[in-house]
Amino acid sequence: MNIIDILKQDYQRFPIDQTYSIYAQDVYFQDPLNQFRGIKRYQQMIKFMQTWFLNIKMDLHDIQHLGDKIKTEWTLSWNTPVPWKPRISISGWSELGLNADGLIVSHIDYWYCSRLDVVKQHLIFGK
């Protein structure tokens, strides 16, 4: 199975049972809230999401293999565990850098919205 097929399956079942073997041990991760290096930290971030967020869904809209990079476009949504359980949605894209062995060495997420836009989604009661 190639890396594109693996990623498609990982997106479908996110955050459950992710294929961490496609990442280099010292993978660099960055999104608008986090920046770190290492597969262990990446696993901890996914576990945090799985533990604290409800009804997580990752919709993959597009995936392209462009030389030593993979670009994905997606929408991540979940319910936040506060009394009114707002449905939060972030659309964005990821740029995944590959090394000579075909492992992901960098995973950088970009959002089409601001961090403030995400906070505001939590403030709409009863939605």
**Count of CB atoms within 10 A of residue 119's CB?**
10
Domains of the chain by start residue, with CATH: 3-121 (3.10.450.50)
Q: What is the pLDDT along the chain (127 residues), one digit of tens a residue?
A: 899 999 999 999 999 999 999 999 999 999 999 999 999 999 999 999 999 999 999 999 999 999 999 999 999 999 999 999 999 999 999 999 999 999 999 999 999 999 999 999 988 654 4
Q: Which two tokens stand for residue 88?
A: 């939060």
Total-model pTM: 0.91
Please return the burial class of 52, using the count of CB atoms within 10 Å of its CB with bins 0-12, 13-18 and 19+: exposed
Backbone angles phi, psi at 10, to 5 degrees: -60, -40
Radius of gyration of the chain from its Cα atoms, rounded to whole angstroms: 15
